[in-house]
Amino acid sequence: MLRSILFLLAMLLLAAGCGPSGSTTVEGVATFEIVSPAAGASVEGPSITLAMEVQNLTIQPAGGANNPNQGHFHVFVDGGANYDVVYDTTHTLTLAGGEHTLRVELRNNDHSPFSPAVVREVIFTVSGSSEVPAGSATPTPYSYY
Q: Which residues, 6 or more positions from 32, have their beta carbon under 8 angstroms from its beta carbon?
A: 52, 53, 54, 55, 57, 73, 104, 106, 118, 120
Q: Dump pLDDT digits (tens) for 33-74.
A: 999 999 999 999 899 999 999 999 999 999 889 988 999 999
CA separation, residue 114 to residues 40, 72, 89, 90 (Å): 27, 10, 17, 20
What is the per-residue pLDDT for 28? 85
Higher pLDDT, 81 or 144: 81
To the question of pTM greater than 0.85 for the whole model, the response is no
Structural contact between residues 52 and 89, judged by C-beta atoms closer than 8 angstroms:
yes
- Domains of the chain (ranges; CATH) run 27-127 (2.60.40.10)
Structural contact between residues 56 and 27, judged by C-beta atoms closer than 8 angstroms:
yes
Q: Dump pLDDT digits (tens) for 96-125.
A: 999 999 999 999 999 999 999 999 999 999
What is the per-residue pLDDT for 131? 60
